[in-house]
Structure 1
Amino acid sequence: MSSPVSRFSCPMALLPDGWARDVVIDVGGDGRIASLASGPMSGEGERLSGPVVPALADLHSHAFQRAMAGLAERAGPGDDSFWTWRSQMYRIVGRMTPDDVEAIAAKLYVELLKGGFSHVAEFHYLHHGAGGVPYRDPAETSHRILAAAARTGIGLTHLPVFYAHSNFGGAEPGEGQRPFLHDVDGFLSLLERLAPACGTAGATLGLALHSLRAATPDEVRAILGAETTGGPIHIHVAEQEREVEECLAWCGRRPVEWLLDEMDVDPRWCAIHATHMTPDETARLAASGAVAGLCPATEANLGDGIFPATAYRAAGGRFGIGTDSHVATSVAEELRLLEYGQRLRDRRRNRLVAGPGASVGRTLFEAALAGGAQACGRAVHGLRVGAPADLVVLDGNHPFVAAAAEGEGEDTLLDRWIFAAPDVLRDVLVGGRVVIRDRRHADEDAIDAAFLKALRRLQ
């Protein structure tokens, strides 16, 4: 543990064993919490302006898709679905340059920081130029993601994606998918090329398999048998009912069933969406120790369905939240929609909760904090010694925050934030460095200008 180089105090903070008052946080030169103490701050330091909670990790991001948020909300000639939305996504991808990738990612990452996330797992499959033409540097767009994360100050788990086919059984990819494609050797070479760059940037390197539609069993086994990242493994699975039907037609098993039967799924894995599972699949995924990567705003926007979260949680399942296509960019909105989906399905209130009298907000928050950290390959999380000093400061002058801190009960801070007042975030620290102060990023104007330039070029 490095020696403390900065000190912060706050009126109250959510520690692993509960809320504490008048907390002093020392941060080491490595950006991790060196010590925590109660009482007045001695010596130099900064007094934070309100209650502090740990920042969450966003476990699923396709940064480039932020550029198309709101562009697929006009009705087509038939029933619109994920599959019609995907055509709009291919149109945008076909025109995107590396400069656009970096500009869009930087804008998104500022928005995620403002939304209460301090870390993002970038599920990155836009590897090549229009028509699938490779860049001179095969890792060009990954380097742009690393640059955007460094510029904004957000923590990064980088997940290059293997994508080779359009459907189960090794079907030939479509034209719109060509910017995404690799063969096994090319993908493994990409991982090797990125390892030193991620190490220099302080990013965690893992990998992703786009889906069982996009990779054959032999390709999956070859990659998992040869990769040496040691980082997380993510995969889209069972997002759509059509996907389940096509998987059954291909192999006679459902996607999650096949994955659990054929792969050594363990806590290193994150099953993105996993929306459509039987009770048996739900129990088996929970028992595997993997994280379910839930993206409620995107899943609602695309009409995917509702994840069986109550049953999964009852079986001891771990989950975290992601913003996926980025129609929403905040912790509060994702957690609120997760809970509301369960309520709408069950026609009951307070579904994802620890027990009678417990706070739904705190239950959701702490589960997503732990699951997000695991899915991003972060061994230690929360406000504890040795964890990254990733903090969210709530606005102590906001009436909802002030009332909760003074007498409504500390957990009400989380319930108010998630269900009533998503605008109460004021400051965000990553690794002990303030990256959002009074709701603004220091480089925000330039980042906005570059984002606008990209949007104008892509429209």
Structure 2
Amino acid sequence: MNLEPLNLWAPRAWLPGGWAEQVLLRSDATGHWCEVRPNAGLPPPGTLALGGAVLPGLVDAHSHAFHRAFAGLAERFDAPGAGLHSWGAMRDHVAGRLTPELLQAVAAHLYVELLHGGYTHVCEFHDLHDQADGSPLPDDAQRMAWALADAAQEAGVGLTLLPVLRERAGSSGEPLGEGQRRFGRGLERLLQEVQALQECKRPMLCVGLGVHALSAVTPQSLAQLAREAGPDLRLHIQIAEHQAYVRAWREATGASPVQWLAQQGLLSPHWTLVHATHVSDEEVRAVGQAGASLVLCPSSEANLGDGLADLARWIEAGVPVAVGSDSQVTRTWREELRWLDYGQRLLRQQRQGQSRPNTPSTSGAGRLWTMAQQGGAAAAGMKHWGLVEGARADLLVVDTSDASLLGTPAPQLLDAVVFCSPGRPWRDAVVGGRFVVRNHVHAHSAGIAGRFERAMRSLWSL
């Protein structure tokens, strides 16, 4: 599909070396940048001058879209120990009622919110496959997966869809319980789903593979999945999220989860570990040596009380680190980055939360941003990302007239975007060479929001 090329000019734009002035940005008919030229002078004739400084879009590297339907609703603690249990009960209630149509309504609304939050691409950890009793949906034609793909297309966001392998409830081989059956997916059906998604060749839809947890699959299936993924498919796994899980896996196998993966020779540059909160220095080094990447979800990990990752160790090991919205309690990357950094400050009881910068910038937000931009590209399987030639033509236009940014000196703009809130900083958003947000307005948001509201009434009606 051919697009009308964009000819844009930005007064300032964040390029790989940091802020650059008077930047000319041209996209081609495929929706990729074909020219990114700083110091281009005043806007040439026929060029659209953007109304603010420009940032690349960011990848949301770990999303469970259907969790949006109970975000903020699992905060009641009516009995001792009910915290995580009440969250799981809410999740299972929603999962038990979702149809493909309801899932699309929830996901489309979420994806519009994520666009307004500065994400232009989402890695969707797709683990809701079948009917509530575990039986296939009519026609068994990956209807839940297509509901997510259609939602992303409707919202105008890029999507890496990660169908999730989940064969059992635990390492002892026990079957999934009644409330978890529609999360189940065997290896054969999973690979069939991935093939069908790949063959559609839909614009801005990428496909990868997901693993719910080590205990949810057999070692044989995991090894075969890694072989099937080969060099072309990203493989995401949720791992080492809770201390209790790490202890249980060590008791069952004699090794902690990431250590076990390394011992099996499975880690490679095509793997992305999600959470990996409770790991040793040895495990961090193993991930770095393998060239794998990491996704941290600060708002969700805090909401669930999972623990605090030691970001400095991952940076020192050279591991690309991305952020994800996960359970959707927060849907803006500026808050994820802020709390990621604040957590490190609290951990060390000092203001400089990271150890070694991975950018020449002295800006704290610039260091975080560069890290998340590189890590997000790795998690999504993008060879090129950002305001560089060959990358998908995505960008965000900063609204410097927003109350949270008003009067900010230009060199400190990114710091203010991340560390001064609340606000709605993105005036415009471009995804794949198309404007999807103009002057804070998404063209289809009203209709999408109305469907979401009706879906919520259906999901929560007694």
**TM-score normalized by structure 2?**
0.94
- Over the matched positions of the two proteins, sequence identity in percent amounts to 36
Shift, 1:399, TM fit? 6.2
Q: C-alpha offsets along residues 148-170 of structure 1, whole Å, 9 cap, x if unaligned?
A: 11111100111000111111232
Q: Work out whether residues 103 and 450 of structure 1, in 8 Å CA contact, stay in contact via their aligned partners in 2.
A: yes
**Structure 1 equivalent of residue 393 of structure 2:** 389
**Structure 2 equivalent of residue 428 of structure 1:** 429
Task: Look up the equivalent residue of 1:196 and give its one-letter code.
Answer: E
Q: Work out whether residues 204 and 432 of structure 2, in 8 Å CA contact, stay in contact via their aligned partners in 1.
A: no
Q: Work out whether residues 4 and 34 of structure 1, in 8 Å CA contact, stay in contact via their aligned partners in 2.
A: no
Shift, 1:43, TM fit? 2.4
Shift, 1:348, TM fit? 1.1
User: In structure 2, which of residues 159, 163, 182 is the aligned counterpart of residue 160 of structure 1?
Assistant: 163
**Structure 2 equivalent of residue 205 of structure 1:** 207
Provide the rounded CA distance (Å) in 2 between the counterparts of 1:117 and 1:310: 24
**Structure 2 equivalent of residue 368 of structure 1:** 372
Task: Look up the equivalent residue of 2:181 and give its one-letter code.
Answer: R
**Structure 1 equivalent of residue 308 of structure 2:** 306
Q: Work out whether residues 206 and 229 of structure 1, in 8 Å CA contact, stay in contact via their aligned partners in 2.
A: no
**Structure 2 equivalent of residue 325 of structure 1:** 327
Gaps of 5+ in 2: none
Provide the rounded CA distance (Å) in 1 between the counterparts of 2:405 and 2:87: 39
Task: Look up the equivalent residue of 2:258 and give its one-letter code.
Answer: V
**Structure 1 equivalent of residue 6 of structure 2:** 6
Shift, 1:137, TM fit? 2.6
**Structure 2 equivalent of residue 352 of structure 1:** 354
Q: C-alpha offsets along residues 239-279 of structure 1, whole Å, 9 cap, x if unaligned?
A: 01111011012111111111121143122111000000012
Q: Secondary structure at the match of 2:140?
A: coil
Provide the rounded CA distance (Å) in 1 between the counterparts of 2:159 and 2:225: 22
Q: Work out whether residues 58 and 323 of structure 1, in 8 Å CA contact, stay in contact via their aligned partners in 2.
A: yes
Count of residue pairs the alignment pairs up: 453
Task: Look up the equivalent residue of 2:150 and give its one-letter code.
Answer: A
**Structure 2 equivalent of residue 415 of structure 1:** 415
Gaps of 5+ in 1: none
Task: Look up the equivalent residue of 2:153 and give its one-letter code.
Answer: A
Cα root mean square deviation, aligned: 1.9
Q: Work out whether residues 4 and 26 of structure 1, in 8 Å CA contact, stay in contact via their aligned partners in 2.
A: no
Q: 5 Å matches for 1:113-132?
A: 113-132=115-134
Provide the rounded CA distance (Å) in 2 between the counterparts of 1:340 and 1:350: 9
Q: Work out whether residues 165 and 214 of structure 1, in 8 Å CA contact, stay in contact via their aligned partners in 2.
A: yes
Q: Secondary structure at the match of 2:424?
A: helix
Q: Work out whether residues 169 and 216 of structure 1, in 8 Å CA contact, stay in contact via their aligned partners in 2.
A: no
Q: 5 Å matches for 1:257-296?
A: 257-296=259-298
Q: Secondary structure at the match of 2:244?
A: helix
Q: Cα–Cα, structure 1 residues 65 and 438, in superposed 2: closer, same or farther, change >3 Å?
A: same
Shift, 1:175, TM fit? 1.1
Q: Work out whether residues 33 and 389 of structure 1, in 8 Å CA contact, stay in contact via their aligned partners in 2.
A: yes
Provide the rounded CA distance (Å) in 1 between the counterparts of 2:372 and 2:251: 34
**TM-score normalized by structure 1?**
0.95
Provide the rounded CA distance (Å) in 2 between the counterparts of 1:92 and 1:4: 41
Asked if residue 140 in structure 1 is aligned to residue 143 in structure 2, the reply is yes
**Structure 2 equivalent of residue 15 of structure 1:** 15
Spell out structure 1 runs of 4+ moving beyond 4 A.
Answer: 353-357, 399-402
Q: 5 Å matches for 1:17-166?
A: 17-37=17-37, 38-135=40-137, 136-166=139-169
Provide the rounded CA distance (Å) in 2 between the counterparts of 1:44 and 1:401: 30
Q: 5 Å matches for 1:205-224?
A: 205-224=207-226
